[in-house]
A and B are shown apart, each in its own frame.
Chain A
């Protein structure tokens, strides 16, 4: 029933595509109908039953509403906007940066599209528009790029983004997912290629309404001496599920994964990361932090896979959670798979509450308890935001994080 409703949405949108894309979509629609949302790997969806989340979704067909998109522009960035899955601007004019549509690149790119979990088929069957961004080699793009997925109407949408950073280039990219408080499912896939000596900072910021489902999958391929920094900020939404697969393919490749999730009410944030050290002399650093209130749930699964022959690898992982309510739940699962012997690998996980002693220290200096708790929660979370190196991106992230801290949590008193 549920699957059928989802499949119908994809069917209705089929007319948006022609040729190879259409064939591809139809193939996956059939696969989706057969397999549904069942995960390929049950363990990786242990805490998030997608079918039950997609159950009460409102699939009313819609017309995109682009009347208000102006206010979603942010002049600090080069904006690329999807409104209800439809790309708004086809062109950007930045030297060294090339933006094209997915359709024209499809014959070349479709083998890259992955089928790693139950949602892949649904995504592929919905794949209507997408973009390909390429940064020429030896180019530093100063102004950060912001890819906005704005949902204005109930329904099911997907965005697909291919990014290639050629050798010795540098850029910061923000993918932002938000909605106008409508019931919807947004299924994104992002493919990133960071070539030799290049550096990509990639921030994914989700601040959806109370009925928004966001499911993103990110696949990053990092080459020799290249750096990929992934910062995921899940600030709100009924469900935020992020899959990140980071492949460190050649020596000197460096990956960073920083995550911050805020949940309250009955929200759920589920981060599933996998860092693959496939070559010797690769390094990674990961910090995931959550603040959880009321009946909400936070899940962190962090796999670090060090392949045989990947010697002299250094990998560090840390997960820290702050519980503001006794009912909030945290599931933290480090998964270390180490098949080389000369490696430095560390991991740790803590879950705690604000202590009376901490709050009292502030109170004893005239700062009321609610303000003290806000400052302490801020102090806990800000570490992740400060990992963002681009100043403008950091600013935007900070604005949203501060706002969420203020509005979302009951920092006024113990519960």
Chain B
């Protein structure tokens, strides 16, 4: 579904990604782990198309209408319409735009792209209600401004709510587990699991193994200083939990 080859990227002239190779197929769950500052968020934002990051080499291909196409040619909003979803590590607050308006705008953009009719407010609200329930969120969230005054956990839940509404093919969840207490973590993990199918794929970015107890990955990759230094199955995450990153970093040296 997505193929990243030799990707190098920089921000403000500093090279941050130094040759990333990663292939994710439909139905798979990949976890990307690694210490702070290794480039995990950078990689996620580049896939979603953030303008601050410059791709200096390599390629990213994404399956669109059954064909692999150059993702880097697409505007960020087009990438989202083609089914790429980035759950932000730090979702921003948007005072003055209600969650309802935001979700509806977003949903309708995607409907339009897929040649579907836009939903009226009432049917959209019905659709929303089932997803709110999945994440155990109160309907009053809809009237509040996007993320404004939300707790860390509420912000992360809101990201997963957006994901549930948009039904993406590739979800990149950047540290969705941070700031969540154990109950919220379970709810979020349940949500993500419920949305999983053999047609879509998930990339979980995390630096704790905790989330991986609830969302079981098929592959685990360790990103360090802009490179994937080790890949394995879920046992790699457990090993990391036990021995820490230093073990791998030292081994690499």
Contact = CB atoms under 8 A, between A and B. Distances in A.
Please indicate whether A and B come from the same complex rather than being unrelated chains: yes
Interface of A: 356-358, 360-369, 371-372, 375-376, 378-380, 382-383
Contact of A366 (B50, B92, B110): B110
Given A356-B52, A368-B75, A363 B97 contact: no
A365 B105 CA distance: 9
Nearest to A358: B92
B75 A360 contact: no
B80 A364 contact: yes
Interface in B20-52: 48-52
B77 A376 contact: no
A366 B88 contact: no
B166 A379 contact: no
8 contacts: A356-B52, A358-B94, A360-B76, A362-B102, A364-B48, A366-B110, A367-B106, A383-B96
B244 interface: no
Interface string B70-98: 00000111001100011010011011110
A361 B81 CA distance: 14
B113 interface: yes
B148 to A, nearest CB: 10
A366 B109 contact: yes
A361 B94 CA distance: 10
Interface residues of B, number: 29
The binding surface of chain A is classed by DSSP as: helix
A364 B85 CA distance: 7
B109 A367 contact: yes
A153 B238 CA distance: 80
A371 B52 contact: no
B162 interface: yes
A357 B109 contact: no
A367 B77 contact: yes
Contacts of B81: 366
Given A358-B92, A379-B96, 16 more contacts: A356-B52, A360-B50, A360-B51, A363-B49, A363-B80, A364-B86, A365-B102, A368-B77, A369-B75, A371-B109, A372-B77, A376-B94, A378-B96, A379-B95, A379-B97, A383-B95
Nearest to B85: A364
A386 to B, nearest CB: 9
Contact of A361 (B52, B88, B166): B88
A183 B183 CA distance: 66
B77 A363 contact: yes
Given A366-B166, A367-B109, A375 B97 contact: yes
A414 to B, nearest CB: 10
Given A364-B80, A365-B106, A371-B105, A356 B88 contact: no
Given A364-B48, A366-B80, A375 B92 contact: no
A364 B166 CA distance: 11
Most interface-central of A356, A358, A365, A372 (chain B CB within 10 A):
A365
B119 to A, nearest CB: 14
B195 to A, nearest CB: 16
A380 B97 CA distance: 9
A382 B101 CA distance: 14
A302 to B, nearest CB: 22
A379 B92 CA distance: 14
Contacts of A371: 105, 109
B106 A366 contact: yes
Contacts of A378: 96-97
Contacts of A356: 50-52
B194 to A, nearest CB: 20
Contacts of A361: 88, 91-92, 94
A367 B49 contact: no
A365 B162 contact: yes
